[in-house]
């Protein structure tokens, strides 16, 4: 897929969802990154909290197969607005700033880079460190 492709394009390129696929659990509008894996859960399949069906290049992420990096953490490089908004103290405005920062600067290399996002200070970073990964 070309750079800038979205999840719905990856699903379509793979032949579409199967009859048992639960596409409603994916953010079909999310942007993909190079090397990213995509996992489409079956209807009724349980996936740990914090999972989105998207995973990073090494099978890490917020949902490739239902697990994120280090056991279900939200991946800062693949999480959509809803997933970021669900983090404590984040909210929709900060979630958008995180996504915007990622679009402007590329993927986060470390979780600590999150403090470069306007609105994330030392206390916020301390709160988020155990909940997020890259």
Residues 119, 98 contacting (CB under 8 angstroms): no
Q: Which of 34-48, 52-66, 111-125 has the lowest mean pLDDT?
A: 52-66
Structure tokens at 87: 């983090």
Across the range 72-84, mean pLDDT stands at 87
Question: Is the pLDDT at 58 greater than 60, yes or no?
Answer: no
Q: Where are the domains of the chain?
A: 7-133
Question: Is the pLDDT at 7 greater than 60, yes or no?
Answer: yes
Report, in this order, helix, strand and coil percent for the chain, each rounded to 5.
Answer: 35, 10, 55
CATH no. for 7-133? 1.10.150.320
Residues 99, 81 contacting (CB under 8 angstroms): yes
Question: Is the pLDDT at 30 greater than 80, yes or no?
Answer: no
Looking at residue 21, what is its pLDDT?
Answer: 86
Across the range 96-119, mean pLDDT stands at 94
pTM for the model stands at 0.50
Question: Is the pLDDT at 105 greater than 50, yes or no?
Answer: yes
Picking from 29, 129, 134, the residue whose alpha carbon sits closest to that of residue 89 is 129
């Amino acid at each position: 897929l070309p750079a800038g492709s979205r999840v719905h394009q990856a699903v379509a390129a793979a032949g579409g969802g199967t009859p048992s696929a639960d596409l409603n659990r994916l953010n079909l509008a999310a942007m993909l990154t190079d090397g990213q894996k995509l996992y489409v859960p079956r209807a009724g399949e349980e996936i740990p909290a914090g999972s989105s069906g998207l995973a990073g290049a090494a099978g890490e992420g917020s949902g490739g197969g239902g697990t994120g990096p280090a056991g279900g953490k939200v991946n800062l490089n693949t999480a959509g607005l809803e997933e970021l908004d669900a983090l404590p103290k984040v909210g929709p405005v900060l979630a958008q700033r995180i996504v915007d920062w990622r679009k402007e600067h590329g993927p986060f290399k470390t979780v600590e880079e999150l403090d470069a996002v306007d609105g994330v200070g030392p206390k916020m970073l301390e709160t988020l460190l155990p909940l997020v990964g890259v």
